Amino acid sequence: MKNARIHELFTSIQGEGPWIGQRHIFVRFLGCDIRCRYCDTPAAVQRGDEVANMKSCGVQIAARSKKREQTSNPVSPRALTAFCSRLIVPGPSRPVISLTGGEPLLQASFLEEWLPTVRSAFTIYLETNGIHPEAMERIRDLVDVVSVDFKLPSATGLRPFWEEHRAFLSATRGKKLFVKVVVTKDTKEDEVLASAGIIAAFDPSTTLVIQPAGEPLAPDSTDLIAFQDAALGLIEDVRVIPQAHKMLNVP
């Protein structure tokens, strides 16, 4: 089986989206093909040789310990399963693995092989930038929840990805999902409307989460209300949810 390039692995409180507050086991994959100006995990978004040169990753040693140990990269499927298993909180709840990054779908070949071995024991929650529909097709039946991050040009400083996002939603059809947009002080209402329009054409009951960026990019509160009002004209469920893990000072 293939091995994975991992930046870190830990358990914490999910701080974003409708599943906010749940305990998740976060597997943060190395590598990303875009650079968002609001990115809060810059150490995980290397490319090419930078990813290959990351020879180790930090792994939390137990669910009730803050200590981490260094293990070598790339990580084998067996080792990754063992690392996740030791972070399960004992009790009746079903553990959740959050695949995050970086961009997990850049390692879709690994996920195709690894996820079938852990699905019986874990709920699989995918966090993705939503621009790799072909990779999503490959692992669609191996994940339970998909968090799709629409990339607004004003927030990322990059070109629009509307066509990629539209194709990506089609690739998730039948899965439990929500769409998130990070908004900044520079975000315009027409970008939020464009996002809501894509969602409306796909499934107007899909939840849209408007997530305000932190300082120094934070939007005005009146803009957040205006963005929500605009999106609610097209889709059913629009929520403004900040990053709770930063407020709680947890990883």
Mind listing the pLDDT tens digit of every residue in the chain (251 residues)?
A: 799 999 999 999 999 999 999 999 999 999 998 988 888 787 677 666 667 678 899 999 999 999 999 999 999 999 999 999 999 999 999 999 999 999 999 999 999 999 999 999 999 999 999 999 999 999 999 999 999 999 999 988 899 999 999 999 999 999 999 999 999 999 999 999 999 999 999 999 999 999 999 999 999 999 999 999 999 999 999 999 999 999 999 99
Structure tokens at 76: 């084998």
Q: Which residues contact 187 (CB under 8 A, 6 or more apart)?
A: 152, 154, 155, 219, 223, 227
Per-residue pLDDT, 35: 85
**Which pTM value belongs to this model?**
0.95
Per-residue pLDDT, 45: 73
| Helical ranges in the chain per DSSP H | 49-52, 77-85, 108-118, 133-139, 153-156, 162-171, 189-202, 221-232, 244-248
Q: Angle at which helices 189-202 and 162-171 pack, to 10 degrees?
A: 30
